[in-house]
Chain A
């Protein structure tokens, strides 16, 4: 709805919208002899800042003193175009526009007799400080993490990528909450066609709520069933900046510190900032360990069940005797025991995650007592099974971004190996491969080009080469298109 030239009509319209809200602030003032009003939301815009900026400029300065009483138009133009006010460049013409600016922390000044308003930047939004993200540990490099406020996050990116090529497009999602999001990319590195495609998809997406960038996934990568998602997430501006420089796109949503990176490769789940800060040899060693841990966490329990139940001849005799002795004392078959331990460990993890931190220690203590001691003492579970399940549960945290698929796959492998033996194990392995190789985003296969490359000694694959050598030919994601 267009703003009216009558101040009372405008105020009545805003009063209808926000009147009952406690944080809505509307004060009628006289500006240069002309009746006007200041609108803002308490806590989002600072009244004292506005007062200093606006009223000093209008009332105490003798801009309009000694002149015949100025009309609303002259005052409006004087404030908008000929004053030092930090005002939005273009006038506010409609109530929708005014609402958008008010909810972004601006103050809106309306004048009687003029059907346009002035948006003054007097924001004083409260937000979580820029701290280190708890989910992405690093020894070296930046300690900064994204905050919850979109504008602050964009400024963090801009500070790191100091180039005119960085584009930060902000738009409002078509949700009831009207949440803002940003599509960030480097103009000279990202694929224009793909940027346009993502931009259109985001514009057309109609999530009921938009509380995190991951809410866009069903629109960006629509598929009925998928284990691996070819999108990465980071809370570190440094990581997001590095991805932007590789030609990828970053989607940020107001209110969430989690940035979505598109497209992502499977191998990136095994990389971190520290990899490039240490020697190539050591980071390669760590990467091999991470890959081993990931496959271990998926296949070890299933392999254990398959070998112990169906192929005991493959287990060295001494180990087999110990497993047999431990299993003799338990009432459940080994397969059921393994499934039970895995499910219990998942329950404990979920409880530890959702529970208030003050109670977390109690959960750990109870879990340790139940699993570690009581279950074995009561003869409900055998030690080798608990050891195997615990080892895999710990190993999964080496690649936290793959936690969801790893957990589901681990359970699937145990079920297949327990029910169908070696055939089930082989079949689920093939399915695992297909679930990895069948995923792609924006034309870039998730498996490209490593971890099973045609050339295993790729510059930055399962192992990496010297950083100086790698820097000679910068990586760009669009070279990996299938």
Chain B
């Protein structure tokens, strides 16, 4: 357990949740609109979230006992590398979605130049700074979501929930289940005290995807064409003179996506250190009045 405490990033569940909400929003934006009924996304997705919650909790307990992150031996080393690859894949996926948003919605490829500069600027940042900045982005996302709902308020029609007829809950099967490395790397990402709360991370994803599917169904029903994506919901958003507010929410999402990329880069750096790729940095804080 001592080795585990040394490597823990001490992120709060709220900060990890922000990263997952950002990833889940990206899935909702570019996923096919109405592929799964809102009922199915909420109920079956809820069952999936409950299962993942239990699995994350049990895996976290087991990983903590075995010293899976930062321990010595074959298994911790293997786990370290597997999680490194998994987080790297998460980083690549988030960067790819962010680049897609930038190119398709803003007509810009600037992310390719901006991202390395951003990562360079935050290279030496500590986990506490990332954690504290998450609160501001939560507020911003919350305000964006509230404004979005306010803009869609007049277009919400409850009867659209039943447009698909009386098809059963299982008609479309289980909604796709996306696994994120954060679910299972709790001993690495947060403190032991926060681990039980952090195990609820799958519920964050469920809330976003279920909520998005519900509002999408209320506004658009079930679009028949295959070419519609979740972005149609944002495009339907209007407020008086302001007609294209989707760009505003996408801008907020982009800030959150950049934050998630910084978080994943931090975790990758920590994992590379745990895996022995880089020596641990010398302890700081003896100088001046800084901690």
Q: A245-267, CB under 8 A of B: which get 1 and which 0?
A: 00000000000000000110000
- Of the candidates A197, A262, A317, A422, the one having the most CB atoms from chain B within 10 angstroms of its own CB is A422
CB–CB B135/A482 < 8 A: no
Known contacts A314-B242, A430-B118, A440-B291: does B108 contact A422 (CB below 8 Å)? yes
Interface segment, one of A65-73, A101-109, A219-227, A379-387: A219-227
Chain B contacts for A145, CB-based, 8 A: none
Q: Which of A313, A430, A436, A482 contacts B128 (CB 8 A)?
A: A482
Query: A329 on the interface (CB 8 Å rule)?
Result: no
Of the candidates A223, A421, A430, A447, the one whose C-beta lies within 8 Å of that of B132 is A447
Do A318 and B110 contact each other (CB < 8 Å), given the known contacts A311-B247, A434-B129, A440-B290? Answer: no
Considering the complex, give the chain B residue whose CB is closest to the CB of A231: B289
Given that A201-B289, A422-B108, A440-B291 are contacting pairs, would A427 and B258 also be in contact in the complex, using a CB cutoff of 8 Å?
yes
A293 sits at the interface (CB 8 A)? no
Q: Which residue of B lies closest to A481 (CB)?
A: B291
Chain A 414-441 near chain B by CB (<8 Å), digits 1 or 0: 0000011111111101110110111011
Inter-subunit contact A422/B251 (CB<8 Å) = yes
B145 interface residue per 8 A CB criterion = no
Asked if B102 and A453 make an inter-chain contact with CB atoms under 8 angstroms apart, the answer reads no
Majority secondary structure, B binding face: helix
Q: Is A301 an interface residue (CB 8 A)?
A: no
Q: Which residues of A contact B265 (CB under 8 A)?
A: none
A442 to B133, CA, bound (A): 19
CB distance from A216 to the nearest CB of B (A): 10
Q: Which residues of A contact B244 (CB under 8 A)?
A: 311, 313-314
- Is the beta-carbon distance between B290 and A422 smaller than 8 angstroms? no
Q: How far is the CA of A434 from the CA of B266 in the complex (A)?
A: 13
Q: Nearest-CB distance from B185 to chain A (Å)? A: 22
Q: Which of A219, A421, A431 contacts B108 (CB 8 A)?
A: A421
Given contacts A423-B110, A424-B114, contact A201 B251 (CB under 8 A): no
Q: Which B72-117 residues have C-beta < 8 A from chain A? A: 102, 106-108, 110-111, 113-115, 117
Is there an interface contact between B258 and A426, defined as CB atoms closer than 8 Å? yes
CB of A251, distance to nearest CB on chain B (Å) = 11
Whether the pair B248, A314 counts as a contact (CB closer than 8 A) is yes
Pick from A219, A317, A318, A422: contact of B254, CB under 8 Å: A422
CB distance from B265 to the nearest CB of A (A): 12
The residues of B that contact A426 with a CB separation of less than 8 Å are 251, 254-255, 258
**Which residue of chain A has its CB nearest to the CB of B136?**
A452
Report A-chain residues with C-beta under 8 Å of the C-beta of B242. Answer: 314, 316
In angstroms, how far is the closest chain B Cβ from the Cβ of A361? 42
Assess whether A430 is in contact with B288, with CB atoms less than 8 Å apart.
no
* B170 contacts A by Cβ under 8 Å: no
- Asked whether A423 and B108 contact (CB < 8 A) given A220-B289, A313-B243, the answer is yes
Decide if B129 touches A313 in the complex (CB within 8 Å). no
B137 an interface residue at 8 Å Cβ cutoff?
yes
- Report the Cα distance A427→B251, complex, angstroms: 10
Question: B135 → chain A, closest Cβ, in Å?
Answer: 4
A371 within 8 A of B: no
Known interface pairs A438-B126, A452-B139; A443-B291 also in contact (CB < 8 Å): yes
Q: Are A221 and B289 in contact (CB under 8 A)?
A: yes
From A313, A314, A438, B125 is in contact (CB under 8 Å) with A438
Q: How far is the CB of A74 from chain B (nearest CB, A)?
A: 51
**Looking at B111, B114, B115, B289, which has the most chain A CB atoms within 10 Å of its CB?**
B289
- A198 on interface, CB distance cutoff 8 Å: yes
Chain B 118-133, CB-CB to A under 8 Å as 1, else 0, gives 1001100110111111
Q: Is the CB of B287 within 8 A of A430?
A: no
Q: Closest A-chain residue to B259, C-beta based?
A: A430
Are A313 and B133 neighbours in the complex by a CB distance under 8 Å? no
With A421-B110, A425-B251, A426-B251 already in contact, the answer to whether A442 and B289 are too (CB < 8 A) is: yes
| Contact status B262-A430, CB under 8 Å | yes
Q: Which residues of B contact A442 (CB under 8 A)?
A: 289-291
15 further A-B pairs in the complex, CB-CB below 8 A; given A422-B247, A422-B254, A431-B118:
A222-B290, A311-B247, A314-B248, A318-B241, A423-B108, A430-B118, A430-B262, A434-B121, A434-B262, A436-B132, A437-B129, A440-B290, A440-B291, A445-B128, A482-B291
Closest 3 CB pairs of A and B: A316-B241, A438-B129, A437-B132
A-B contact pairs, 24 of them (CB 8 A): A198-B289, A223-B290, A310-B106, A310-B108, A311-B244, A420-B108, A420-B110, A421-B106, A422-B247, A423-B110, A423-B114, A426-B251, A426-B254, A430-B262, A431-B121, A433-B133, A434-B121, A434-B122, A437-B128, A437-B130, A441-B289, A441-B291, A448-B132, A452-B136
Binding site for B on A (CB under 8 A): 194, 197-198, 201, 219-223, 262-263, 310-311, 313-314, 316-318, 419-427, 429-431, 433-434, 436-438, 440-443, 445, 447-448, 452-454, 482
